[in-house]
Chain A
Amino acid sequence: MTDALAVAGVALRESVRRRVFAVVVVLTAAFGALYWWGASQLFQDTSGFGANRFGIDATALAGATLLGLAMFGTLFLGVVLAVFLTLGAVRGDAESGLLQPLIVRPLGRRQYLAGRFAGAASVSAAYVAVVYAGAVLVTGLVGGWWPDQVLGAGVRLVAAVVVVAALSLLGSVFLSATANGIAVLMVFGAGLLAGLLGSIGDALSSHTLQRLADTAAWVLPFEALYRDALRVLVANVTGVTGAIVQLGPLGGSHDAGPLLAPWTIAYVLGVATLTSVAFARRDL
């Protein structure tokens, strides 16, 4: 365990020394400032709507839409961070000669993987949690709209980025760093696209599209977690407003059911096992 922590510590120190975190903090601050400005403008514009004959709650509509978009942005940035921290963990580092001196030490391959996963997952999860909390605060303070289940949505978002970190680590056993980075980001995009198609399928009552989205959600549970996070985020928005915000940005909300949490845990453990077995069999 201490060996895994040592490996995680190396990955984190590298990110600090390479100023990865500095860049992330600066860009995230810029994202936060833009979000604050956009939210102020939007809530200002919608404040004059008042009650209307369609029964739309303008504040809830603006708040839920904005926060839904912020969640997508947060997840995307968290995924980029998770992928960056893991994309070359095995094959990439082996090709550059970084891996061999470490792996011949008594820590072994499984501990090495555990360290890399712990480092990437904890950093990207913490990042997602902080940025998400910031977006919730800005939306609440600027517009006076607070989501129903702040914690539930945040936990799902964090779990989604952990799933991506696990997948990226698995990919690093088989692919070079560049190929793995591209592959994982394409898989992430494909998952979101499937969610979007699912929303269209819901609107058009297309069973084929719905089945496609459901299958993608189980194969790539970060997608199901993201859409379920959107669902719990707007659970207290009812009526016409609720119907509109349920469509949500980039995929819309979707109830993944009670099996999502156990499936996500089993999925991450399965991916971790597969990564460990594949790495154990790999000649370096």
Chain B
Amino acid sequence: MDAALAVTGLSKRYGATDALRGIDLEVAPGELVGLLGPNGAGKSTLVKIACGLVRPTSGEARICGAPAGSPAARGALGYLAELFRFPGWASADEILALHQRLARSGGGAAERAELLELVGLGGEAARRVETMSKGMQQRLGIAQALVGRPALLLLDEPTSALDPTGRRTVRSLLEELRRRGQAVLLNTHLLSEVEHVCDRVAIIDRGALVAAGRPGDLSGISGVEIETASGIRRFPGATRDDVPELVARLVGEGERIYDVRVVRPTLEDAYLAAVAP
């Protein structure tokens, strides 16, 4: 089975600036992958190339086996742009109906109602976009990306305009998408979001992939700290399994033990270490 997204040796140059430098990345069907990186790292460029909005300088991106930008690839994805706008005069229902038509979705009114319900806009079908808050428009944008049940969702900062309740809704939505078997590439700055819901994380910095793996693996275990009467003793690289032996050894040396901590760096620590200047 083809990967939902397969990116190989992808590079993009804007004039003298390398936005992407030989990125390799894969998103398996049904997998939820978080894309992290500082501003200007190349995340949005990667997503835009996958959508066919930007042409790569070299390398390739394939969506469900089809070259990015081809009709087959465009038919298999849903996209929420970082900066997007819907016509203010149109209602939520009209926006979704237009995208159903363009995405060749036969879901009809039932699909539109379901999607609006899913993003917390149930009962707002007739509401015009220009009367919606930014957060509501963002939710509508997510519903638009879900039209036609695409195999791959490319979400570029989907929670940037949302309040904490909205973010929780999106998090639940992402989990629901995983249950449905839809793959997601989530481009975000919210590390907690990625840590909670993503199967894997890819960190990009200055156009290059600097780290990739499962959130837990990336965070890793950095060691054990034991507070003794003579001060804190650190054991870098030690794991939870090493704790009884370490404690026994220190007691055997005559130390009095007051506290034992297995130090687990957060994804934030791993991220900051990966993108350090």
**Which residues of A approach B to under 8 Å, CB–CB?**
2-3, 6, 10, 13-14, 17-18, 96-98, 100-108, 281, 283-284
Q: Are B53 and A14 in contact (CB under 8 A)?
A: no
List chain A residues, Cβ under 8 A from B85. Answer: 96-98
Subset of 9 A-B contacts with CB under 8 Å: A10-B98, A98-B85, A100-B53, A100-B81, A101-B84, A101-B86, A102-B102, A106-B75, A284-B54
Q: A14-B89, A97-B81 are in contact. Are A106 and B102 (CB under 8 A)?
A: yes
Q: Are A98 and B86 in contact (CB under 8 A)?
A: yes
Q: Report Cα–Cα, A54/B270, bound state, in Å.
A: 96
B234 at the A interface (CB under 8 A):
no
Q: Are A106 and B86 in contact (CB under 8 A)?
A: no
Q: Are B103 and A106 in contact (CB under 8 A)?
A: yes
Q: Report Cα–Cα, A226/B141, bound state, in Å.
A: 46
Which of A2, A97, A106 interacts with B84 by CB under 8 Å? A97
Q: Are A101 and B87 in contact (CB under 8 A)?
A: no
Q: Report Cα–Cα, A103/B102, bound state, in Å.
A: 9
Q: Are B84 and A283 in contact (CB under 8 A)?
A: no
Report the nearest A residue to B95, measured CB to CB: A101
Q: Report Cα–Cα, A17/B91, bound state, in Å.
A: 11
Given contacts A98-B85, A100-B79, A106-B71, 6 further A-B contacts (CB under 8 A): A10-B87, A14-B87, A14-B89, A18-B89, A105-B99, A108-B71
Q: Report Cα–Cα, A108/B102, bound state, in Å.
A: 10
Query: Separation in Å of the B254 CB from the closest CB of chain A?
Result: 68
Chain A interface mostly helix, strand, loop or mixed?
A: helix
List chain A residues, Cβ under 8 A from B87. Answer: 10, 14, 98
* B100-132 interface bits toward A, Cβ cutoff 8 Å, 1 = contact, 0 = none: 011110000000000000000000000000000
Q: Are B55 and A283 in contact (CB under 8 A)?
A: yes
B74 at the A interface (CB under 8 A):
yes
Q: Report Cα–Cα, A106/B79, bound state, in Å.
A: 12
Q: Report Cα–Cα, A103/B55, bound state, in Å.
A: 14
Q: Are B144 and A101 in contact (CB under 8 A)?
A: yes
Q: Are A3 and B86 in contact (CB under 8 A)?
A: no
Q: Are B83 and A6 in contact (CB under 8 A)?
A: no
B77 at the A interface (CB under 8 A):
yes
List chain B residues, Cβ under 8 A from A104. Answer: 51-53, 74, 77, 79
List chain A residues, Cβ under 8 A from B74. Answer: 104-106, 108
